[in-house]
Chain A
Amino acid sequence: MSEKKIIHERSLILNRRAFLEKSALGIGGAALSSLLGVNCFRKTESGVLTPDSSSSGIKGALTSLHHPAKVKRVIYLFQSGGPSQLELFDYKPTLNKRRGEDLPESIRNGQRLTGMTSGQDKFPLVGSPFNFKQYGKSGTWISDLLPHIGKMADDICLVKSMYTEAINHDPAVTFFQTGSQQPGRPSIGSWLSYGLGSENENLPSFTVMLSRGTGRPKSQPLYTRLWGNGFLHSLHQGVQFRAAKDPVLYLNDPEGTTKSTKRAMLDQLAALNDQHYQENGDPEIQSRIAQYEMAYRMQTSVPEVMNTDKEPDYIYKMYGSDAKIPGTFAANCLLARRLAEQNVRFIQLYHMGWDQHGDLPAAIERQAKDVDQASAALIADLKQRGMLEDTLVVWGGEFGRTNYSQGLLTDTNYGRDHHPRCFSMWMAGGGIKPGIVYGETDEFGYNITENPVHVHDFQATMLHQLGIDHEKLVYKYQGRRFRLTDVEGKIIKDILT
């Protein structure tokens, strides 16, 4: 009945158009807009209602794309904690050969250290105990820890020359997600929601899912500001989809009530709110009615998309047995695909637990197992549905790890500290060259020797793929025009098709 009811209500509103047009274009316009689609208004700093976001068929702040887009949506598999590139993607046999030797000062070259290793008097080099091999036609070197991702080597573009400015988790993750180390700016997904609006009026355009790694269950924390809207309209905040009773906060109807209770309440609210609007004339009231309708639709559409019961067995086989356990990385990857099918613009996963300061060999093995199969399955699944062409998948963390051991290096054990100067991440999908490796590091895996990619470059490139010039997606706040890439950022043209 819901759909019919909504349409019915819309018709009622349309019927009232004559009245509204007579009374004022202004009120009529705003009222109709808010009832026909998602609310598109906010009060600006000076108090006026201005168009802000959009709904199906209606655009965001950008009236048109700056150039044709290669992708419609992004799935960002954020690996929180700083995965060690040296055990996963950046093959450095020299480190095995020179195991235990001190990091030459000529290589370290004054790089600042975190407070956790700055007190060490020795920096013993250590290589990966896990073997690497070459995969696919591209011959990309990938660690034995990631056999499934290895099999997808010809579909991904591995960037080995990422670098960042921050050396600690909080500022580094915040930097990746918002372009600034200090809190307060909108995150990537919020920028996209603001710029491009939404293609599905029943789901938020920016969704977030969290999972906890087995590599370090008591890991680094996350912060809700990482998916916050900063100074943008709160409509653009990332909405967390949870493996909990309430898949979105406050989504479930009160216990002991039914859908028909809720529907009756909304009808009653709409009637009384509308009556008040007739007396007072404030267009915000009409907008309020529309928000309640949107909330009602979300109550249906969110559980629908979260319910994976009907996924066939072969899909679960692809993603692995974890995919049946809600809240795991694998389950979230499967959900990511389902959200992508619903045209959710920005789907952000966080997998925690990559912070291996000590006990690295055992921990990273578990951690890699958490994500390997499902990450690869997601690529394959998107591909078999023809969706990889217009989806960008990103895999990576906030920084890399040192080539020397943090703490004692023993025959079987060691740890690695944070390393901002070089680390690896990979991308796959629309407009990204598949099966290539971009950038190179020195034989010690400490410095970039070729094609450095800064965090802002990565962000600029991501926006570019979505049809956005990163210098032009701006929002004026406190007198200044802000953008995701602050005042930097170059597009990495070499990796684009």
Chain B
Amino acid sequence: MNKPVTAFWVVLTVCFLSFSCKQKNDSENLITLNQSKKSLPNVIDFTFDVKPIISDRCFKCHGPDKNAIEGGLSLNTPEDAYKALGEEQDHFAIVPKEIKKSTLIERIYSDDPNLQMPPPESNLQLTDYEKAVLQKWIEQGAKYKPHWAFSPPTKPEVPKTAKDWVNNEIDNFILAKLEQNGLTPNKKATKEKLIRRISFDLTGLPPTVSQIENFIKDSSEKAYEKLIDTLLSTTDYAENMAAEWMDISRYADTHGYQDDFERTMWPWRDWVIHAFSKNMPYDKFVTYQLAGDLLPNANLEQILATGFNRNHKITAEGGVIPEEYRIEYVEDRTTTLGIAFLGLTLECARCHDHKYDPISQKAHFQFFSFFNSIPEKGLLNGMKDLGEPYIKITEKEAKGVLSFINMKNNPTKEVSVMVMKEMSKPRPSFILNRGVYDQPTTEVFPNTPTSILAYPQEYPKNRLGLAKWLFHKKNPLTARVAVNRLWQRMFGNGIVSTSYDFGNQGALPTHPELLDFLALKFRDEGWDIRKMLKYIALSETYQQSTLVSAELLDKDPENKLLARAPRIRLSAQIIRDQALSVSGLLHKELGGPSVRPYQPEGIWEETTGGGGGSTASYIPSKGNDLYRKSIYTFWKRTVPPPSMMTFDASSRDICSVKRQETNTPLQALVLLNDPQIIEASRALALKAITSDEQSIEGRIQYAFQRATSRLANDIELASLSKYYKEMLVQVQNNEVQPETYLAIGDYAIPKDIDQIALAALSLTCHTILNLDETISRG
């Protein structure tokens, strides 16, 4: 997939000679362009060369879905693929090593629309390169291999490398592959870059100037390791880890449909932060959330953790058929289990057998049945309905076992949180014809597909057993999926870039042995998240510079081989939190009810219906609550905070394990005109003016360093100083009115500050907060 880009850029560059160019940008065509130049591998590998083709182009009609098989042919297994076909049983799609007898070859090369495969109307064409791969594969014996992700990880040998660039095993794996490809790793990043990177990745905040200075001063060998340990021990780390978990758990402060009434799930969010700050092992963390209520002598904390599976949307739209929606909730839990823990698209087997992966519709509903016996309602009765089953938390609990809950801002001193609970008698589950709620067919019971891992007989057939199954030694997916997400946090992309899909249609691992190595290490060392993050952070691979030469960009545009560290735009939340942090506005307080920072006036009211309630109109918070971290921003699902959505936040409608990273004009408008950023610019400028720095240059450096974690170079400093002077002239000429510009946002300026100078410096800080470097971590 990385190759087409080169060709594309060639085309583009040529285009630019004329202004209104026609862009050749059909990605599939580009693949053709490039692959036609690519030579076939000597040995065709089923996993890497063949399966991506047959899964994507053939499985729709010749794959695992038994009911969709055309012409009696399935290419899913070798037995099926080599089978005799036709009434006479006289021909074969594939005869290993026999091209002439393999009708598959004839069909893929055919020009006759009645014979051609895939058929023209399917819109699934094969390229010449792909046809050649299939042909050579059959010539070489048409060997199959099991899907890599469905076999348990095995301990790989750590590769030997020529160069001495190894801090831990990660580097052996990465370097070995770089050497095979004739590439060399980048130099180490500067200390300023490194501390910025690790601070954002672990804590979601930029380093403070004293942290930067101390780190630079500390020339001991252990300086970096000490830094990592310090960062990992902060509550900022816990909040930052929890922020990702909010996407995965589809957390929100409203129910998500129609009038979108408020719900109270924030105590559950407080628990997540608590779990990360205690470094709860991943197996325990997940088990509590899936089945805390079923643990022997479950305590309130374990029960609260199961709120995870009540975070899905719930309707209160008068008139819906409750059962239709209750089924949706159970489906949502099933989908979430797949994406979050197994890296599988279980939802694709709701209406029929999975088209690409060995998950039958029956298996889908077996998973479903684990989550189907909750005494819940499909339809909430208005905004006051607490959504059975729930637990009540009073001050007593909040001072006891649930002491991590921040009840401070809650006037009632009592909250109810939705949790999971089993019905005394399980509700029967059925395969639903086409996935429709009122068409039950065969009854099914909790179970898991043998294609992944057969369900051990001795496990209870409930959510607790399911959690045990996830963490069974032979489960091939759980550890890989989890460790891949930790890698994604540190490198922007996972070793499997489709962190939500480890199935046949997912991306292949760039470093399969490394993934297995890490998965086993993670598991065998007690599912210790902090330890794994530290291990990754200590690798030379992680510590490289992001500098990219034209040559390297050309050879590895996607940075699959990691000959450089990735440069990543900060997330929606972190962009805002950084602005608050560097300006000193950030109010650090752990947990509690969600808060309402600035939001453009009227956007709730414009869409709101007649349902009323606390989500009908937006009343911004006051005081400190305006400046809390973004993880605490009130999340109304049907109208999520627009500045966040513009920066690719997840909508929290469904489980999401990876965000987009886009670059759009609306993002520019947010950073230029959002009062939050303007106010932060002013606060930052004020800090600079009241600091020890007396010169303009010194004050600009003050702000620049806080925003980018480094000092501006001479050219940058000269340029910003000149800009400051221009702004000063604008203020003096009344092109800028300081009393108005400086009044945006609630934060008040002391009267004794020179307003003209402050306005000019605020505009300078505003510019600095808009720099691409400021909103990136390199």
Binding site for B on A (CB under 8 A): 17, 21, 23-30, 32-33, 36, 38-52, 54, 56-59, 61-63, 112, 114-116, 167-170, 182-184, 210, 216-225, 228, 233-235, 237, 239, 242, 244-246, 248-258, 260-262, 264-265, 268-269, 271-273, 275-276, 279-285, 287-289, 291-292, 294-296, 298-299, 352, 417-418, 471-472, 474, 478-480
Contacts and interface: CB of A to CB of B under 8 A. Distances in A.
B767 A269 contact: yes
Contact of A168 (B21, B317, B550, B669): B317
Contacts of A61: 25-26
A22 B550 CA distance: 10
A257 B767 CA distance: 14
Interface stretch (B126-134, B443-451, B477-485, B715-723): B715-723
Contacts of A282: 546, 548, 567, 778
A144 to B, nearest CB: 28
A49 B22 CA distance: 18
Interface string B302-345: 00000000000101011111100000100000000000000001
B549 interface: yes
Given A25-B13, A170-B317, A221 B608 contact: yes
A234 B736 contact: no
A222 B607 contact: yes
Given A48-B558, A210-B606, A252-B673, A264 B664 contact: no
Nearest to A327: B606
B667 interface: yes
A218 B26 CA distance: 46
Size category of the binding interface on chain B? 35 or more
B763 A221 contact: no
A288 B575 CA distance: 15
Contacts of A271: 719
14 contacts: A26-B554, A27-B553, A46-B1, A46-B560, A47-B558, A51-B12, A51-B27, A58-B23, A168-B319, A170-B257, A257-B735, A265-B766, A269-B767, A479-B504
B61 to A, nearest CB: 13
A41 B9 contact: no
B668 A169 contact: no
Given A24-B550, A255-B741, A36 B16 contact: yes
A49 B726 CA distance: 37
Contacts of B422: none
Which among B609, B658, B678 has the greatest number of chain A C-beta atoms within 10 A? B609
Nearest to B663: A287
Given A235-B664, A288-B772, A251 B548 contact: no
B592 interface: no
Which among B23, B550, B678 has the greatest number of chain A C-beta atoms within 10 A? B23
Interface string B167-200: 0000000000000000000000000000000000
Contact of A63 (B8, B24, B661): B24
A281 B778 CA distance: 12
Contacts of A257: 735-737, 741, 763
A449 to B, nearest CB: 25
A170 B21 CA distance: 42
A298 to B, nearest CB: 6
B611 interface: yes
A134 B532 CA distance: 75
A297 B735 CA distance: 20
Interface of B: 1-2, 4-6, 8-10, 12-13, 16, 19-27, 29, 123, 256-260, 313, 315, 317-322, 328, 345, 348, 355-356, 379, 492-493, 497-498, 500-501, 503-507, 546-551, 553-554, 557-560, 566-567, 569, 600-603, 606-611, 638-640, 642-643, 645-646, 648, 651, 653-654, 658, 660-670, 672-674, 678, 715-716, 719-720, 723, 726-727, 730, 735-744, 763, 766-767, 770-773, 776, 778
Which among B5, B10, B379, B715 has the greatest number of chain A C-beta atoms within 10 A? B5
Nearest to A13: B16
A115 B319 contact: yes
Contacts of A36: 16, 19
Contact of B660 (A42, A167, A244, A295): A42
A265 B767 contact: yes
A426 to B, nearest CB: 25
Nearest 8 interchain pairs by C-beta:
A24-B550, A479-B505, A218-B610, A256-B740, A51-B25, A221-B609, A256-B741, A57-B20
Contacts of A33: 12, 16
B144 to A, nearest CB: 20
A309 to B, nearest CB: 23
Contacts of B345: 478-480
Given A47-B497, A249-B666, 7 more contacts: A44-B1, A59-B23, A183-B653, A210-B607, A262-B672, A268-B723, A272-B716
B604 to A, nearest CB: 10
Nearest to A30: B9
